[in-house]
Amino acid sequence: MFGMLFSIRSFVAKMSPVDMRDGFLCFQTSKYKLHYYETPTGLRFVLTTDLGVGSARDALQHLYSNIYVGLGVKNPLCPLGEPVQSELFRSRLDAFVRALPF
């Protein structure tokens, strides 16, 4: 997945006629749509959806700022640079994704 995202980001940055301040947001195949959000620190969030879904950028930003930062980064028991192992984080993440309208 990392290699594919790296290649797409590089390709879009080279081909885009406009400033790519936000990078690429999504791409779609004949089967799914992949939504992408990269934080200023380089952390990447990816969400795959059906083709009919519009932008998921707000959902990914909410996931980062409210769930990941709130329950992972600010958790003193979660070492930085390691996967979040909190059960509360997992349950909130699961509830958030299940509640998405798409």
pLDDT in tens, 66-90: 999 999 888 888 888 888 888 999 9
Please give the pLDDT value at position 75.
Answer: 86
Please give the pLDDT value at position 24.
Answer: 76
pLDDT band at 19 (very low <50, low <70, confident <90, very high): low
Distance CA 95, CA 40 (A): 26
> Is the model's pLDDT at 17 over the cut of 70?
no
Range of the domain at 19: 2-99
Q: What is the mean pLDDT of residues 27-53?
A: 92
Indicate the DSSP class of residue 4: H
Q: Which residues contact 35 (CB under 8 A, 6 or more apart)?
A: 25, 26, 46, 47, 48, 49, 53, 55, 56, 57, 59, 60
Round the average pLDDT of the chain to a whole number and report it: 87
Distance CA 56, CA 62 (A): 10
CATH classification at residue 25: 3.30.450.70
Quickly count: other Cβ atoms within 10 Å of residue 34's Cβ.
19
